[in-house]
Amino acid sequence: MAKYRTYPYDRKKYQSNQKPVRSKRVPKVNPIVKYFKDLGTCLSEGSTCVKLSTVFMGLGHIYNYQFVKGILVFLVQALFIVYLIFAAAPNLAKFSTLGTVKREAIFDPLTMQNTVNEYDNSFMILLSSVCALFIIFMFFLFWVSNIKSMYRTQLLLEARKHVNTFGEDFKELLGEKFHVTLLSLPILGVILMNIIPILILITIAFTNYDQNHLPPSELFTWVGVRNFVKLFTQTTTSSFGYAFRRILEWTFLWAFFATVSNFLLGHLIALLINSKLIKLKRFWRTLFIVTIAVPQFVTLLLVRNFLADSGIVNSICSNMGITAFLQNIGLVSKNITYIPFLTSPGWAKVTIVIINIWVGIPYQILISTGILLNIPRDQIEAAMIDRASPYEIFKNVTMPYVMFVEGPTLVTDFVRNINNFNIIYLLTQDVYVTTDQALANSHGKEVDLLVTWLFRLTNEYYDYKMASVIGVIVFSICSVFTILSFSRIVAGEREEVFM
Amino acid sequence: MKIKRAIISSLLHILLAFITFLWIIPIIWLVVTAFSGYRGIDISHFFPETWSTKNFGTILFKPDSVVQYVTWFKNTFIIAVFTCIISTVFIFMVGYAFCCLRFPGRKQLMVFSVVLNMFPGVLSMIAVYFVLKSLGLTNSHIGMIIVYSAGSGLGFLIVKGFMDTIPVSLRESARLEGANELQIMLKIILPICKPIIVYQVISSFLVPWGDFVLAKLMLNSGLSKDWTIAIGLYNMLDKSLINKYFSIFCAGGLLVSIPISVLFILMQKFYIEGVSGGAIKG
């Protein structure tokens, strides 16, 4: 089992806090530089068969009597070249302009049908080009790894060591290379569903793809950073700068309040339920969890109608005189006869935060109960022996423990709330109408988050270019926070520490 | 002292009862409206004036152009079954690879996955839609299954966290006995991971039932027989339909929450079992 020794399988490395002593000082090299340096070594010191395989992949293998492998690798290269010539090249050629031939339909009197010319579909060009560039990049990696493996074979042959046959290589997929077997399908899925869409999103941000340039009938093309400039500036014709500032402010405000309120109130209620003075703990907890049982979209749509301008809460409030009271103290305008829970900017924002508390706290209670039950009893007992008051125990024992466990997730929750699409969309879509003309011009609303704004821009107004710019911005914001928090999640020091 | 304690205790109970009451009202409203004889929104009475169960009858046995509940339920169920199989397999494979195998680039890949997982799906949704459209998969079950499960490998952290608590010695001894990695994974790690796998199965099964945005975007043909439950129910609250279908919406929401809540309670049980069980074994 010698081959495993080089990998950190030994537990001691993880158990001891000391850093492993390095026998040799290895200077730190940039991995990318190293990658190309290795390639250079392979090419300059490789034998003929290594050099041959730079042009005809697989020839080197066949030269070394690895026929099956050679043929497979050669087939991959052949497929790639066919793909490149017949599918990728035509699109890549138009990538710089995203197409020049507009769609035109000519009525043909002979067949009584419209014939359509061979038009360019800008979006399909963009999509295929992004895919093609990605595939070319992947092929390049494959090409390099092939050369490197040829060079390794050469070294093995020179040292008169055993070279793996195809069968042995295949078996390695269940042994040392098992990670390749496990990870390839999930990675393929991630590429299809996450990476390619993100790349497309980024590229669209630099085009003029919008309602006036919708393929297939129209073309769109590159416009540089014009969309970014548009998003940050406010002119007489475009109010995007203003809308962006307003919506960004509210997004952060919302994310802050949503995260903090859920965290604090959730813990308070969990503490209350778990308090020694409370009987029937299970019963209370179950009542809260009942609200989770109904799917979120059902409860949100329900609450939206519950609090509607002419809804049941408003009719009860006006019967009880609450509406009149609120009108007297100036919280509700005298022109309306209802409480505008979800229809005036101020009220809607407060209501949304409160409904978010309503939705989120049952989950928070579940989490906090788990944490509170796991607080080391000895610490609390020690504090009790020292005659600490319940408040002191809470402040000095409970809270630090809770913060230790939950601190990192607060940042994650913050990011999640920045993108909390469901709550805002389901509560305000079709209900909230903005009165701010400048916001309305750029299709925003006071209660929008950046993501709901983005969704409306694409789904209702086909303004893909601005939506993509917003997407890129949100992505940058989120990644900053993510990098802040995740270093703690996968820092690695806590892996396999439990033994 | 005892009296003071009793007073505080009863005050706390009253406070808790009040808070729970606030939490429970909308749910009660959902339940009573589902049994209402009036089909629109009754804005003057909390409890309906006439009670009836015909909303459930309409939903289950009398499909019309708006309400195709049984079809939606079937659609969502099919999507959910495949989603949960694919996602669970993916997550288990990725979790195992990151936890138990050591290979070059492992840490970088892990970091990359975590960051990518934070990327909100809502943002690239439009591009996902176009990718699927160019593959001809919008308005189909296969498309929805791909949407829900293809990227699921990124959510490996919980499973990996659980596997990290399994002693390395178990794997090492199996390896000394001559087992290959596949055998170790299927015969040693998989049985131990049962609770967390069940948790994963249930939680990925629940995704299609609760998702609204992606389904709304992908299933845009306008034919109600293609929809999932979420879109179907949302559609009932359209301004032109709400006065005829509100109580039916409530009945539908109530019906769908029964299986979901059973699964959710099961999931919690397995989650807790998984987390605590793993720690004890470690």
The per-residue pLDDT for range B195-215, each reduced to its tens digit, is 888 888 888 888 888 888 888
Q: Which of residues 259-298 of A touch B (CB under 8 A)?
A: 269, 272-273, 275, 277-279, 284, 287-298
pLDDT digits (tens, 9 = 90+) for B213-238: 888 888 887 787 888 898 888 888 88
Interface TM-score (ipTM) > 0.90: no
**Minimal CA separation from B42 to chain A, in Å:** 7
Q: Regarding predicted confidence, which is higher, A153 or A2?
A: A153
Q: Which residues of A touch B5 (CB under 8 A)?
A: 277
In a domain? residue A455: yes
State in Å, rounded, how far the first CA of chain A is from the last one.
23
B130·A412 Cβ contact <8 A: no
- Of all residues in chain A, the percent with pLDDT exceeding 70 is 91
- Residue A168 CB partners (closer than 8 Å, separation 6+): none
Is the same domain home to A143 and A286?
no
Residues B215 and B227: beta-carbon distance below 8 Å:
yes
B233·A297 Cβ contact <8 A: yes
pLDDT value at residue A15: 43
In a domain? residue A498: no
Q: Which of residues 331-390 of A touch B (CB under 8 A)?
A: 358, 361-362, 366, 370
Task: Give the CATH number for residue A249.
Answer: 1.10.3720.10
pLDDT digits (tens, 9 = 90+) for B139-174: 888 999 999 998 888 888 888 888 888 888 888 888
In a domain? residue A21: no
**Minimal CA separation from B198 to chain A, in Å:** 18
Is the same domain home to A350 and A483?
yes
Residues A443 and A460: beta-carbon distance below 8 Å:
yes
Reference A424, options A332, A333, A289, A296; nearest CA is A296
Is the same domain home to A243 and A384?
yes
A178·B181 Cβ contact <8 A: yes
Between CA A205 and CA B17 the distance in angstroms is 52
Q: Which residues of A touch B126 (CB under 8 A)?
A: 201, 458, 464, 467
Q: φ, ψ for residue A386 (rounded to 5)?
A: -80, 10
Burial of A181 (0-12, 13-18, 19+ CB in 10 A): middle
Q: Where are the alpha helices (DSSP H) in chain B?
A: 2-34, 54-61, 69-100, 106-118, 121-134, 141-149, 157-164, 168-176, 181-183, 190-192, 194-210, 213-218, 229-236, 242-281
Is the same domain home to A260 and A152?
no
pLDDT digits (tens, 9 = 90+) for A245-289: 999 999 999 999 999 999 889 888 888 888 888 888 888 888 888
Mean pLDDT of A405-414: 78
pLDDT digits (tens, 9 = 90+) for A310-342: 888 888 888 888 888 888 887 877 777 788 888
pLDDT value at residue A8: 38
Q: Which residues of A touch B176 (CB under 8 A)?
A: 1
Is the same domain home to A253 and A155?
no
- Is residue A320 less than 8 Å (CB to CB) from chain B? no
Reference B139, options B65, B218, B223; nearest CA is B218
In a domain? residue A8: no
Is the same domain home to A185 and A273?
no
Between CA A273 and CA A151 the distance in angstroms is 67
pLDDT digits (tens, 9 = 90+) for A358-372: 988 888 888 887 777
In a domain? residue A329: no
* pTM confidence score: 0.81
pLDDT value at residue A249: 93
Mean pLDDT of B58-64: 83
Structure tokens at B145: 């299954």
- Is residue A140 less than 8 Å (CB to CB) from chain B? no
**Domains of chain B and any CATH numbers:** 69-242+258-281 (1.10.3720.10)
Is the same domain home to A173 and A248?
no
Reference B246, options A451, A478, A304, A384; nearest CA is A304
Between CA B102 and CA B111 the distance in angstroms is 15
Q: Is the pLDDT of residue A185 over 60?
A: yes
> Cα Rg for chain A, rounded, in angstroms?
31
In a domain? residue A222: no
pLDDT digits (tens, 9 = 90+) for A89-143: 888 888 888 878 877 777 777 777 777 777 888 888 888 899 899 999 999 998 8
In a domain? residue A110: yes
In a domain? residue A70: yes
Q: CA dist B137 to A326, B130, B210, B219, B224, Å?
A: 53, 10, 21, 10, 17
Is the same domain home to A179 and A279?
no
Q: Is the pLDDT of residue A23 over 60?
A: no
Domain interval for residue A101: 29-204
Residue type, A129: S
Q: Is the pLDDT of residue A16 over 50?
A: no
pLDDT digits (tens, 9 = 90+) for A351-360: 999 999 998 8
Is the same domain home to A371 and A473?
yes
Is the same domain home to A287 and A417?
yes
Number of Cβ within 10 Å of residue A393's Cβ equals 18
pLDDT digits (tens, 9 = 90+) for A473-484: 988 888 888 777
pLDDT value at residue A26: 59
B123·A489 Cβ contact <8 A: no
Number of domains in chain A: 2
Q: φ, ψ for residue A395 (rounded to 5)?
A: -75, -40
pLDDT value at residue A493: 47
pLDDT value at residue A25: 58
Between CA A295 and CA B80 the distance in angstroms is 15
Residues A468 and A453: beta-carbon distance below 8 Å:
no
Mean pLDDT of chain A: 81
Q: φ, ψ for residue A69 (rounded to 5)?
A: -60, -45
Q: Which helix (H) or strand (E) holds A469?
A: helix A464-489
Window from A46-50, A464-468, B256-260 with minimum mean pLDDT? A46-50
What are B36's strand-pairing partners?
B51
Smallest CA–CA distance from B86 into chain A, residue: A186
pLDDT value at residue A5: 36
